[in-house]
Structure 1
Amino acid sequence: MKTILHKSGTRGHANHGWLDTHHTFSFANYYNPERVNFGALRVLNDDWIASGEGFGTHPHDNMEIITIPLIGAVEHKDSMGNHGEIAAGEIQVMSAGTGIFHSEFNRNKDQELQLLQIWVIPNKRNVTPRYDQISLAGVEKPDELYQILSPNPNDQGVWIHQNAWFHLGDLSEGWKGNYELKDKNNGAYFFVIEGEVTVAGQKLSKRDGLGVSEVSSIEISSEGLSKLLIMEVPMR
């Protein structure tokens, strides 16, 4: 088993006033040659966006982009004609493929928006761009690691062009379990959204991350009320 630990305080950080952001991996003006990616997981940004502010129209291509609002709601508009809201308790995915333009703003005028934006390198280039979002209300289960993303359009959650699976866990104090990897060539990156969790013997606190690879099963225990995101991705 191989592990790589990223403590919350070691992440790249930028505060632009309207945007307070932390980067687990190299992004924008933050570059660390030892923290460019974890396998196909390329970006994990933890963003706080002031009320009424956001990202103006900008392009993407050949990337799978996942947005998970934690507090508040995102107003999304793109060149495919999609225009709507992604709220906390939902997940959105875009396959940028041959190219898209989109904007993201804090929909609320009196509340800060908090979200995770995640980029996964696809296994197919120049696909037709696509968009999807779902509510997690129908899939979330307390004290279970419930699936929110997979490679299969007919499976639970959203899907992307990559052999990847994401799970969330809303865990109570004392919960213990295992995460079983779907593919032996994959690794899993664990990100603690809230609380304290021990993964593969490593104690993690809020916003800590741990990458685990070259293993088929990983032990997890929750030290209190915790919310855990697990991102299983190919390592090569």
Structure 2
Amino acid sequence: MIYLRNAQERGHANHGWLDSWHTFSFANYYDANFMGFSALRVINEDVIDGGQGFGKHPHKDMEILTYVLSGTVEHEDSMGNKEQIPAGEFQIMSAGTGVRHSEYNASQDVPLHLYQIWIIPDKEGIEPRYAQRRFDDVTGPQLILSPDAREGSLKVFQDMTLSRWALKQGEEGVLDVAPQRKIWIQVVKGDITVNGTAASTSDGFAIWDEATLAVTATSDAEILLFDLPAV
């Protein structure tokens, strides 16, 4: 089964300084049909005005991933980290037993565009931790998250992987899906088809009970591919 989550059908909140699109129920957006997908709880696409951001606030027992598409994030947390995350980098934080953090646009005049992704961990009470990394630009799949931090990926406390795929126009990637696994594909940019179903920038796919996926780029494209447990 391949279900297209059309970008324009997501929840939407415009707070003036923040323009946010919610793939799943979040804050004031609620849809009983979109409460998450497997271990994915939040996929928000945010555009934040210069000098604006999220002040110090708490989290607990959640893996929080940020992928910066343009601009720079200024991060500060209760673990003592104060970092900047420029475009192209990934940041992950285990909230675990509890952490407070703030995320601001480091620029006063250039908008910040990012994905904020929350992943439910497979265990509670993790000691809070923070990591960020820039990955080399490569064609094809590139491992970003894994439970054992293999191949230089960032560690995530969940039975899942995240790969970033860059595809040139006309290029096809094929993925064999293991039994009892679910796949979420988020289109970061460009146009693709998945087993013939077309999608464009900011669309998503929820996929289950498919043994093989053929991902074809109909323009230069980038996707995030989450390989997730069945429950």
TM-score, normalised to structure 2, is 0.97
The corresponding residue for 1:87 is: 86
Note the C-alpha offset of 1:172. 0.8
The corresponding residue for 1:163 is: 159
The corresponding residue for 2:204 is: 209
Give the Cα–Cα distance (whole angstroms) in 2 for the partners of residues 212 and 129 of structure 1: 31
Note the C-alpha offset of 1:168. 1.0
216, 219, 224: which one pairs with 1:224?
Answer: 219
The corresponding residue for 1:8 is: 7
Q: Contact conserved, 2:4 with 2:199, CA < 8 A, in 1?
A: no
What are the superposed Cα offsets for residues 71-126 of structure 1, whole Å, 9 maximum, x if unpaired? 01100000000001011111010111111000000001120000000011110111
Q: Contact conserved, 1:38 with 1:235, CA < 8 A, in 2?
A: no
- Given the alignment of the two structures, is residue 188 of structure 1 paired with residue 183 of structure 2, yes or no? yes
AA aligned opposite 1:191: Q
AA aligned opposite 1:23: H
Give the Cα–Cα distance (whole angstroms) in 2 for the partners of residues 34 and 210 of structure 1: 14
AA aligned opposite 2:127: T
Identity score, percent: 41
Q: Mean Cα displacement is larger for which, 63-72 or 151-160?
A: 151-160
The alignment covers a number of residue pairs equal to 231
Note the C-alpha offset of 1:234. 1.4
Note the C-alpha offset of 1:215. 2.7
What are the superposed Cα offsets for residues 126-177 of structure 1, whole Å, 9 maximum, x if unpaired? 111111111112xx312x1111111113443211100111111121110012
AA aligned opposite 1:141: V
Residue pairs, 1:90-129, within 5 angstroms:
90-129=89-128
What are the superposed Cα offsets for residues 45-92 of structure 1, whole Å, 9 maximum, x if unpaired? 000000000000000001111000000110000000000101111101
Give the Cα–Cα distance (whole angstroms) in 1 for the partners of residues 94 and 151 of structure 2: 17
Give the Cα–Cα distance (whole angstroms) in 2 for the partners of residues 28 and 62 of structure 1: 18
Q: Contact conserved, 2:79 with 2:99, CA < 8 A, in 1?
A: yes
SS at match of 2:184: strand
Q: Contact conserved, 2:93 with 2:131, CA < 8 A, in 1?
A: yes
Give the Cα–Cα distance (whole angstroms) in 2 for the partners of residues 193 and 204 of structure 1: 11
Task: Report the aligned-residue RMSD.
Answer: 1.1
SS at match of 2:152: coil
Unaligned runs of 5+ in 1: none
Unaligned runs of 5+ in 2: none
135, 141, 154: which one pairs with 2:138?
Answer: 141
